[in-house]
Amino acid sequence: MIPAAVLRMCGRPPSVEQRRPPVPGVGEVPITVTAAPITPLDVLCATGTSYFGPPATPYVPGVQGVGHRDDGTPVWFATSAGMRPGDGSMTAAVSVPFVDVVPLPPDAPLPLIAALGLSAVAAHAALTRTGGLTEGEVVVVLGAGGVVGQAAVQLALLGGASRVIAVSRSAAGRDRAVALGAEAAVPLLPDDDPVTLADRLRAVSGLVDLVIDPLFGVPAAAALKVLRPGGRLVNLGSSAAATAPVDSATIRGGSLKILGYTNNGLSVGERADSLGVVATHATEGRLTVSHEVVPFGDVSTAWSRQAAGDAGGRIVLTL
Ligand SMILES: NC(=O)c1ccc[n+]([C@@H]2O[C@H](COP(=O)([O-])OP(=O)(O)OC[C@H]3O[C@@H](n4cnc5c(N)ncnc54)[C@H](OP(=O)(O)O)[C@@H]3O)[C@@H](O)[C@H]2O)c1
């Protein structure tokens, strides 16, 4: 028997139970799991209110993890737990279709790569595939204190951005963004409207080529106002609001491009390519993110803290 975090009822945290180890099916790779992050997608799916619908319970959550193949190769892997029937990464051993397994460098920092995971993949692909970042461009990163945001700040600079301006609600998020290379960090205030935030942002950023937006809502509407003519905003989340007070004159007057990005639109090859870039940068010390390593046995309290936004960055469970 092996330990697994089992979620028996939507809206409740998972708890550790003993389960039979998985038997690999045709085309599946057995993996000994060493770490699994608790991501916003895991928490959302487990509420039963995601657009995937309520998951069949009981199930083991975890849409991604890291571990080793039987030959010792370190790997990152993805699952569709919570989105489709089946178990995920929060257990000691998994069997995963080979297309969902990506080999990592031999000395890869596994907990860090678990923390970066699909959030960093989204930041990388939103910058490069959807946003089309080119050398010398000015980038604004919203929600810069989150995992997508922290990764986007660093990956934009690694991708040739001349300047990155961060926007974050918290002083800690702003300090972190500057430590990671942002030229400046602008506060997002509770009573901001698109005009007040745009004015404060423009005073620091000037005209901007590309906005990376995991927030939508007022921050996205404000960021559109600082784009240069023909500038792009890539939306990849709605952490601030599901809708945004965007005005036609701003979009039309600037011939702006508002683009949507989802990891679900990547082919497995594209996802592996972005994960490979992320893993290489992390292994070679150019990419990091705030994260908290927690023993697997503490999954219930860790899950509740992550869901409540009461964690020191992305929580990574280690086995
Ligand atoms: N499209 C995709 O494929 C994809 C992939 C991964 C993630 N996402 C989405 O991207 C978003 C961010 O993911 P993440 O991994 O970075 O999550 P995260 O680490 O939890 O960070 C979320 C950040 O959003 C900001 N935020 C949260 N609530 C807010 C609010 N009410 N108003 C303003 N800002 C708020 C905060 O940034 P500050 O601390 O800077 O204020 C927070 O740190 C989520 O919505 C997630 O679902 C999308």
Name the residue at shortest CA distance from atom 25 of ligand 1.
Answer: 143
283 touches ligand 1 (CB under 6 Å):
no
Closest residue by CA, ligand 1 atom 24 = 143
Q: Residue ranges of the domains in the chain? A: 2-115+266-318, 132-260
**What is the Å distance from ligand 1's center to 17 Cα?**
30
240 ligand 1 Cβ < 6 A = yes
Is residue 236 within 6 Å of ligand 1 at its C-beta? yes
Q: Is 74 in the pocket of ligand 1 (CB under 6 A)?
A: no
| Count of helices and strands (H, E) across the chain | 9, 15
Q: Which of 44, 127, 129, 169 to mutate to test the pocket of ligand 1 (most atoms within 8 A of CB)?
A: 169
Rounded Cα distance between 212 and 210, Å, is: 7
Q: For helices 147-158 and 268-283, give the axis angle rounded to 10 degrees.
A: 80
Q: Give residue 227's pLDDT.
A: 98
> How far, in Å, from the CA of 238 to the mean position of ligand 1?
7
Q: Is 261 in the pocket of ligand 1 (CB under 6 A)?
A: yes
Q: Ligand 1 pocket, 147 CB below 6 A?
A: yes
Instruction: Confirm or reject: Cβ of 5 under 6 Å from ligand 1.
Output: no
Answer yes or no: is the C-beta of 235 below 6 A from any ligand 1 atom. no
The CATH code of domain 132-260 reads: 3.90.180.10
How many other CB atoms sit within 10 Å of the CB of residue 216?
Answer: 22
Q: Is the CB of 118 under 6 A from ligand 1?
A: yes
* pLDDT in the model for residue 23: 94
Which residues on adjacent β-strands are paired with residue 81?
A: 84
CA dihedral (285, 158, 207, 145) positive or negative: negative
Ligand 1 atom closest to the CA of 263, numbered from 1: 3
Architecture of domain 2-115+266-318: Alpha-Beta Complex (3.90)
Find the 87 Cα to ligand 1 centroid distance in Å. Answer: 25
Could you tell me if the CB of 148 is within 6 A of ligand 1? yes
pLDDT at position 28, please? Answer: 97
Q: Provide the pLDDT for residue 51.
A: 85
Q: Is pTM beyond 0.85 here? A: yes
Residue 190 CB partners (closer than 8 Å, separation 6+): none
Q: What is the mean pLDDT of each run of 10 residues along the chain (319 residues)?
A: 97 96 96 98 95 94 98 97 96 97 97 98 98 97 98 98 98 98 98 98 98 98 98 97 97 98 96 98 98 98 95 95
Q: 55 is written with which tokens? A: 């998951």
| Residue 304: half-sphere exposure toward Cβ, Cα within 13 Å | 7
For residue 312, the model assigns a pLDDT of: 86
Same topology between domain 2-115+266-318 and domain 132-260: yes
- Does the beta carbon of 174 lie inside 6 Å of ligand 1? no
Distance 149 CA to ligand 1 centre (A): 8
Atom of ligand 1 nearest to the CA of 166: 40
CB-ligand 1 contact for 122 (6 Å cutoff): yes
